[in-house]
Amino acid sequence: MNFELDAIVIEDRCRSSALAARVIEKVPPHVPVSYVADGREAALPQTGARDPFGAGKRRMVVLNRRSPFLMACPSGSAEFACCGYLVLTLASNCPMDCSYCFLQEYLAGNPGFQVYANYADALDELERLAKRAPGRHLRVGTGELADSLAFDRITGMSRDLVEFFAARDGLTLELKTKTAEIDNLLKVDPKSHTIVAWTLSPDAVFRNSEHRTASPSARIKSARRVLEAGYRAGFHLDPIIAYAGAGRDYGELLDELFDFVPPERIAFFSMGTMRMTPGLRTAARERFSSDPMLLGEEVLSPDGRLRAFAPIRIALYREIVGRIKASAPKVPMYLCMEQPGVYRRVLGAEPPSAAALGDLLARG
């Protein structure tokens, strides 16, 4: 584990929760633990911190979530092809620090690393949703506002989740991560109802931009191990960054992946090139002024995000798709947050409906 905590703050009403007990038991003795009446206040930016967002990542706040846990993926929109992903928010923020991460803008107002002690309520929400959608197969992920497995050795949440999904035929869990934190996963039988999905980047992106994450090789080796333990494994090539030499580097990354992971065992590839709002780009460049990956030329897309010029994106996608198809012709691929025209030009077909793609990815 490449990350450490400065402090643990526990909301009074969660003192006797199973999560608080696990955190207190596992946290290293030098990390101070304190208690507050309202955990939301501990998640606010700390005054006087030079980098309030970075400081928030190192302060774990155990609290009860007040809002619903389950929502449609916030990336979904009528203008993009959509994968029908449902988001279960069990934590907010992440101890790793990728220079391009959208959380720098999205969570600037409450950057504390929040973990929700009442996550049993999330499972009740899911149960109710599944009852309302008989016959549908839903893919539900916890890796939108947090990395699904960061600090899992402290929180132990993955075991409860995997066991919950293992007992339900219509639900598939996706744990999305850039860690190698798989020890808890190896202790439970997922009954093929959990996909562990690694975000993969070439070494150049990892070294410049993905601070405190596991190396791409370590992620790939972890994928092999969870496959052997009965999990499904998926891969997100996202963000794909269009730097000089990117096509070669993504090709080498995929060569390494296919050397370790049998292509026919892969659940899916998702792809998306780097996209940033102007506000995010400003924040990212301020926090990571020497990262060359943040300096590419971009154009403003109709959705208000900056992306590489469409012909450059399409050429890079095609190179990557060609490499995947050469080794894994039957593995589903989809693009994230791209317009249908780009989707057609890259994958040669109309984007499927969100329900159809969601069902395909969930069932495997």
Residues that bind ligand SF4 (CB under 6 A): 94, 96-98, 101, 103, 147, 178, 213
The distance of closest approach from Cβ of residue 150 to ligand SF4 in the complex, given in angstroms and rounded to an integer, is 7
The distance of closest approach from Cβ of residue 253 to ligand SF4 in the complex, given in angstroms and rounded to an integer, is 17
d(CA 5, CA 23): 12
d(CA 320, CA 251): 7
The answer to whether the beta carbons of residues 257 and 289 sit under 8 Å apart is no
CA separation (Å) from 5 to 179, 201, 215? 16, 26, 21
The distance of closest approach from Cβ of residue 242 to ligand SF4 in the complex, given in angstroms and rounded to an integer, is 18
Q: Which is nearer to ligand SF4, 106 or 165 (by Cβ)? A: 106
d(CA 265, CA 154): 30
Q: Which is nearer to ligand SF4, 61 or 98 (by Cβ)? A: 98
Q: Which is nearer to ligand SF4, 213 or 273 (by Cβ)? A: 213
* Single-letter amino acid, residue 54: G
**273 class by beta-carbon count within 10 Å (0-12 exposed, 13-18 middle, 19+ buried):** buried
Q: Which is nearer to ligand SF4, 101 or 267 (by Cβ)? A: 101
**Of 273, 241, 239, 234, nearest to 257 (Cα)?**
234
Q: Which is nearer to ligand SF4, 213 or 270 (by Cβ)? A: 213
Q: In the sheet where 232-240 sits, what is the strand order?
A: 70-72, 86-88, 138-141, 171-177, 194-199, 232-240, 266-273, 333-335
d(CA 21, CA 283): 36
The distance of closest approach from Cβ of residue 239 to ligand SF4 in the complex, given in angstroms and rounded to an integer, is 9
The distance of closest approach from Cβ of residue 93 to ligand SF4 in the complex, given in angstroms and rounded to an integer, is 8
Q: Which is nearer to ligand SF4, 142 or 213 (by Cβ)? A: 213
The distance of closest approach from Cβ of residue 353 to ligand SF4 in the complex, given in angstroms and rounded to an integer, is 28
